[in-house]
Structure 1
Amino acid sequence: MADSTTMTIRLDEALKSRLSALARTMQRSKSFLAAEALRDYVELNEWQLQELETAVKEADADDFASTDQIRSVLSKWGLDGD
């Protein structure tokens, strides 16, 4: 298991109660569930930001699909490319 550290966060009472109930039902600690949720959030947002950065670099380099490539994809989906 990786080293861990402590972090304090503020939650509204309703969310804290929901987390507590979920932890009991899942037989996990609130800390475990919170860490898992934060890990998922960070991974998702890192991925999205990386994809955006890549897209901006491609756009800056004028790396766009050609008209024929777009028509091909639209045709594959049964859509009109015009």
Structure 2
Amino acid sequence: MEKNKDEMLAELQRKIEELPEKAQQAMYWTITHFDFIKDMCGNPGMTNEEIEKYKKDAYAKGDYTMLALLCAAQAFNNSSETTEQ
């Protein structure tokens, strides 16, 4: 059965509430600043391997905002690679 928008939002909220507080704050910031993130991370100029290294470092430091930015950069990077093919 396909979930409607309200069900998906409720599920997203539950999952975010399960995260550590710093991760919750990073998710809130990411959601509320998506246009800024898209502009900033749209063309990261890094390979996926470089992004993965930085993601591991950010996670180890508990820097969830940086982790979210790197995930966005990787998603946009992968999206542009798919578009180019």
Output the TM-score relative to the length of structure 2: 0.29
Higher relative CO (CA 8 A, sep ≥ 6), structure 1 or 2?
A: 2
Higher helix residue share: 2
Output the TM-score relative to the length of structure 1: 0.30
